Structure 1
């Protein structure tokens, strides 16, 4: 897709889309005000107090539950199709990353020893595992996407933004919702919720459940099964106790489970590396008499010979107390959450017995307590809070090599490289322990100097402590001492690591009402993302011993500048918002791929400096009761300003070590000299497109169906993005070309609250990749995950 095809949508979403403005019901804790035209304002609690989204001097997008259900955006991964500044990447639930404006988490395999830069909050509870974002939305009232540092407002420090999810709350008026969806790929999904009083005006309950299954999109010829399927279950219960007119207590519990046969990454292409030709993918495949089931990824075929599993369960209990006292509200949020992860992967991405076992099951518990007071007045409003958080995690992993591993992974100059017995049965069993404690005090003050001018300083004092241990016990198939070749592939390691430190974050915002319904603002933020520790094994020295000096990494230091303009036009029937931003990060936490041939996992290191800058804007309008439309987009320029000791791309990897004083060979030179590292200063950050946009409309006409009056409606939602890099060091082999997706829906919405519509997603069956990756060993194999093909179906819902 060329740049010209999306040049008209280069301005990103900064507020709600038109469906949100007109169709979403006000949340239980949020009112809707009326303009002179009768159009409603959306009031949010993004800053932990109630206010109109157009009065919030930050870049924020709001999507209501009704729009989420209507557009089929069932989780954060799908939500990015409506939010051009949001990126979500996942190769499995554990290895997922939510980024905003290209920042948040390193691109690549997840390392548990660091934090996400984008916080995910559900009903004000911080979820430390990004895997929570892979679950289907359940009984959602609204989703707020806040862009830029939010540490002075939220419990956990977040340097790139926050995804704030609010579920529907218990009500004292009986109500219920039910929804059933059927579609191709054997999709069946059901959702239901009920709410009402147990004791009038004293005790209310809300129960919600969802279940969904869908056949996989990749066919495994080895097992005769479709993989990358969906199998989701969600349950939530809430009790609201109105202990007094000014005190509400809400007890919530939830349980979510996924158990799909997932997640396959399949053959995409090969690229030339600097290994000898007979040790690159095609030469190796020929030696084994091997051929992938298809060299076209969109045939959606694989032959993986290791079991796939992506079982996970997430849940917990929280108690929220909200006490109106004095001029404001005192809120306490106490929570416990757990996450259990039981995976199995095929880490060689082929039907050959290279890596026959790859599984790293994990169990995590987290405890958090937030105490916050928020008040609003004619001149001053403020938020002040304390936050405490503790996380414990245990991972007990295993990896085992098969008879094809020696030829595939060992240096071709090794005499053992052609002996299948060298690595066959080589097994590493890992015991990884991690604990993290975070304590913080934060606050934000708003001072209305005049009727139009407002000053808003914020501050956060944070303490973080992380402790971890990594023990890898390695044995071979013969029970003999490990050889140097064996240690180079799976090295015995035993080390402990720790990080602790204080940091002070702050921000200052100036906002000015240029006219009624026109707000301008400017913000400067100084932020920190806590340092971390490497918990995926360390790189090895020349003697194949772990390099302990890289066991920990430094904190990120963030300088963020933003200006914005929020406007409402045409008697508040239209909204047009703009934002420009410039973010610089020193000691950026990046994923580094070890240059050694047999290493299967990367580790973390600090890049000297990165910069992200760009523009976002949003336009939406409802010119009549019949028509709504929106147009949103983003231009994002994200690059490494300075990263001189970076991993090399595959075309410069796999060759012989360059002698001192010599010059590495050109990229892709067989048996060439490879640099030990590369200077990638000036290159793109991975995972972010320079141009991205979303756009859509809905048109309705009055109608009567089967005696019920209502509206027949037709809706369209589209999104587009330009080329982006899918490798920490940009490679010609792992760039993903830009693409655009189109989704349609046609239905009837009755006045008595039932809705039937047909839908089609990716209507033109666009062939695109969500992510690409390289195979270990510098063989030149590029694998990836094709995006969903065209899907279609029907949804019937009823509100009562």
Structure 2
């Protein structure tokens, strides 16, 4: 693989047509014309739970309007990674719809039930607790906001890195709708649509649907099925009531069903004791476990707003969500043999959550803000078998089989219940005409109850809990060895303040300084092996982040140039890190543990800019830099039974030092309509996939070049588009598994982002 410098050079040469975009960014809204001329426009966001101009909020925010995302050809929220500094949004390893999210070096890669993300995902202000099914397709939205830095005051738990807000459109009082068809490479064909239907004065019905289909980027040459394919159907229904000008009520429901095949990944090294080759296709596999997979997420919400007066609005958000994942599991070894299979036996994970939030929004001439209460009751559970099919029991006691391998199955199962309560407030006071002071705080109490059962089953393929269960050894050799069996509960409390000071240094130029604290509660490791790490029964502690930020937001040159920049420093304590290592005492196996590894510091810079170069041309640019270092990293040594500091041997995962992107938006008249061309380039420097550097799967720096072309008819009813992504067909890893020992058949697996794709679309709006 080339170094990140050569990748950057090649991509810059390929994207030389973008030279003019050194002064713009993809978060800007399309340029608008006002009485003073052409400007970069503005976006209204709700980062502080109330409507404000993006430029007035003392938070680093990247906001994407629906129209901008359409012009970019963004298929789902992972596309935001290419246009947002210091952001990682990727499909998790082994899945098609589980989300891995990191902002400014903080997140959570492990999607196991009971673990919680460090970046909060919100759909219409409803917190989505699970990463499964969180790779949201983009349809029927108003905008998406990416809030960088801890949002512990207004959003609370699990937003220590930041938050992603997915905001759908309100129905309004006029009949409207659209329908869109798409086709593309890999036999892709999609159909989406939405409609808003006013029934009577004050009552409107709405609906949206999406149907996505695509053949796989690769193939499982053992089963004959596609890999990295897509088969998703989703829908939303809503009812909006406005019985008076002061009252708004919305009932909304959604459901997404993903039947895409399991993504087993690509085997990166040859299995030493067989003739199984390393396949040349980066999306191909020989996995023998099976490819069935199904992910369902659904929910319903009730939102009510009452404008008591011009100064006070009361708001309630009630929501229930649930989901489940079922299928065959993930083949870690990538071969037909069960050397290292994570078998699900048809069931893997299920969860549900109920949440209630009350808000009081205050708006006066000098004081603005929100105070509120929040409650969450959530449950998550799951089970899987780790099948180790080689050399783990004496050959002499084997029952003869055609493929006479030995076997051991390790069952992991459990559940976690979470009850969370919080009181919060954030108030902004106009100290003077040019100075604003914002003060906020949140108190959170999380109670978690964890139940974990883990056992070894010798001489079996599968455990009795999951199917298939195939005893290789006769009774009594296949009796279980209990590793973990406990139920425990813990309570975590934290006070998370935030304060910021904003100074309007000049007209349309704001300087701000801010401090904020983020909190992610501790919990219980569902994979914990109490025989190897007895402390697992006590759970792990919370994470705390203290963040400091200096920023500037400015609209210059009569609004034709926008520059937003920030410097940040974070003190990160108690980081929760999952480690999986071979067991050193018989019987062999995999030991997993979650440690609060110690402390680290993160500092960096971000720059976003947008410029209108002419009435028909705008340019966009963003740049991110992170310097992240562990100051203490304590791990449990299975041999010495002591904690050892290995900070000098660890790196931050999913946190490239440099991220950057640039784009050019040219528009002109064609056939009476409006033609828009949007070439873009994005770059990410070298990235570690885990805290331990692993050259076999860590990703060198790379750049991606995209091109979108859209044409909008004169009456704006029709929009035609062509969208090419990763035009130079760059292969880049987004995840991996690393078990490089003969015991696990040298199971080193890589998972790759999408190859070059081209998609054509036709949309009719009415």
TM-score (norm 1): 0.85
Change (3 A) 1:417 1:676: farther
Alpha carbons of structure 1 residues 690 and 778: separation in structure 2 relative to 1, 3 Å: farther
Name the CA distance, whole Å, in 1 between partners of 2:764 and 2:421.
45
CA contact (8 A) 1:150 1:161 kept: yes
C-alpha change, 1:47 and 1:630, in structure 2 (3 Å) is same
**1:684 aligned onto 2:651:** yes
Tell me whether 1:432 sits opposite 2:432 in the alignment: no
Deviations 1:59-107 (Å, cap 9, x if unpaired)?
A: 00000111222222222222211223211241125764211112021x3
Q: C-alpha displacement at 1:254, in angstroms?
A: 0.5
Q: Distance in 2 between matches of 1:256 and 1:436?
A: 24
Contact map agreement 2:452 2:484 (CA 8 A) in 1:
yes
Asked whether the equivalents of residues 309 and 345 of structure 1 are also in contact (C-alpha less than 8 Å), the reply is no
- Equivalent residue in structure 2 for 1:499, among 482, 490, 498: 490
Distance 1:4 1:576 in 2: 29
Q: In the aligned structure 2, how far is the partner of 1:797 from the partner of 1:227?
A: 29
Matches within 5 A, 1:686-725: 686-704=653-671, 709-725=672-688
Aligned to 2:581, the other structure's residue is in SS state: coil
Taking a change above 3 Å as real, the CA distance of residues 737 and 320 of structure 1, as seen in their structure-2 partners, is same
Q: What is the match of residue 464 of structure 2?
A: none
Q: Identify the match of residue 782 of structure 1 among 733, 748, 760.
A: 748
Q: Does structure 2 retain, via aligned residues, the 8 Å contact 1:254–1:317?
A: yes
User: What's the offset of the Cα at 1:112?
Assistant: 2.5
Q: Tell me the equivalent position of 1:651.
A: none
Give the 5 Å matches for 1:262-411: 262-269=262-269, 281-282=271-272, 285=273, 289-294=274-279, 296-298=280-282, 300-326=283-309, 327-343=311-327, 344-355=329-340, 358-359=343-344, 360-401=347-388, 405-407=389-391, 410=392
Q: Return the TM-score normalized by structure 2.
A: 0.89
1:248 aligns with 2:279: no
Could you tell me which of 13, 17, 22 is aligned with 2:26?
17
Partner in structure 2 of residue 669 of structure 1: none
What is the DSSP-based 3-state SS (H/G/I as helix, E as strand, rest coil) of the residue aligned with 2:354? strand
Q: 1:292 to 1:85 in 2, by over 3 A?
A: same
In the alignment, the residues of structure 2 paired with residue 265 and residue 761 of structure 1 have an alpha-carbon distance, to the nearest angstrom, of 21
Name the stretch that deviates more: 349-358 or 585-594: 349-358
Give aligned pairs, total.
726
Q: Which moved more, 1:209-218 or 1:359-368?
A: 359-368
In 1, distance between residues paired with 2:489 and 2:572? 23
Provide closer, same or farther for how the CA distance between residues 132 and 574 of structure 1 changes in structure 2, counting only shifts above 3 A: farther
Counterparts of 1:757-796 in structure 2, within 5 Å, are: 757-775=721-739, 777=743, 780-796=746-762
- Structure 1 pair 637–769 and aligned structure 2 pair: CA distance change class (3 A): same
1:475-500 Cα deviation digits (max 9, x unpaired): 4423545589x85xxx5431223221
| Range that drifts further, 465-474 or 170-179 | 465-474
User: Kindly tell me: are residues 763 and 416 of structure 1, through their superposed partners in 2, closer, same or farther at Cα, counting changes over 3 Å?
Assistant: same
Residue by residue, what CA displacement relative to the aligned partner does 1:714-736 show, whole Å, maximum 9, x if unpaired? Answer: 21122111101112212333321
**In 2 relative to 1, CA 6–228 (structure 1 residues): closer, same or farther, beyond 3 Å?**
closer
Contact residue 338 and residue 387 of structure 2 kept, 8 A: no
Structure 1 residue 330, shift from structure 2 partner: 1.1
How many Å separate the matches in 1 of 2:352 and 2:552? 42
Separation in 1 of the partners of 2:23 and 2:475? 62
Matched, 1:531 2:522: yes
Provide the secondary structure at the position in 2 that maps to 1:533: coil
CA distance in 2, matches of 1:482, 1:728: 38
Deviation at 1:140, TM superposition (A): 1.1
Partner of 1:71: 72
Deviation at 1:21, TM superposition (A): 4.0
Q: Give the Cα separation in 1 of the matches to 2:303 and 2:639.
A: 60
Q: How far off its partner does 1:549 sit?
A: 4.4
Q: What is the CA RMSD across the aligned residues, in angstroms? A: 2.9
Q: Which one of 628, 632, 637 corresponds to residue 642 of structure 1?
A: 632
Cα distance, 1:789 vs structure 2: 1.4
Q: CA deviation at 1:702?
A: 1.0
Q: 1:723 to 1:173 in 2, by over 3 A?
A: same
Alpha-carbon distance in 2 for matches of 1:213, 1:95:
18
CA contact (8 A) 2:398 2:406 kept: no
C-alpha distance in structure 1 between counterparts of 2:557 and 2:640, whole Å: 70
Identify if the C-alpha distance between structure 1 residues 718 and 132 changes in structure 2 by more than 3 Å, giving closer, same or farther: same
Aligned residue for 2:116, secondary structure, equals coil
Indicate if the aligned counterparts of 2:31 and 2:38 stay in contact, CA closer than 8 A: no
Which residue is equivalent to 2:215? 215
Distance 1:676 1:780 in 2: 28
- Asked if the contact 2:410–2:454 (Cα under 8 Å) also holds between the matched residues in 1, the reply is yes
Structure 1's unaligned 5+ residue stretches are 24-32, 271-280, 648-656, 661-674
> Structure 1 residues 337, 520: closer, same or farther in 2, change over 3 A?
same
Residue 348 of structure 1: CA displacement? 2.5
Structure 1 residues 400 and 682: alpha-carbon distance in aligned structure 2, compared to 1, 3 A threshold:
closer
CA distance in 1 between counterparts of 2:731 and 2:415 reads 41
Q: CA deviation at 1:772?
A: 2.6
Which of residues 442, 446, 455 in structure 1 aligns to 2:424?
A: 442
Instruction: Tell me if the contact between 1:155 and 1:387 (Cα under 8 Å) persists in the aligned partners.
Output: no
**Structure 1 residue 423: Cα displacement:** 7.5
TM-fit CA distance, 1:150: 0.9
CA contact (8 A) 2:151 2:516 kept: no
Q: Structure 1 residues 467, 736: closer, same or farther in 2, change over 3 A?
A: same
Indicate the residue corresponding to 1:28 in structure 2. Answer: none
**Counterparts in 2 of 1:512-551, with a 5 A limit?**
512-538=503-529, 540-541=531-532, 547-549=534-536, 551=538
Q: Where does residue 85 of structure 2 map in the other structure?
A: 84
Corresponding residue of 1:629: 619
Distance 2:284 2:368 in 1: 58
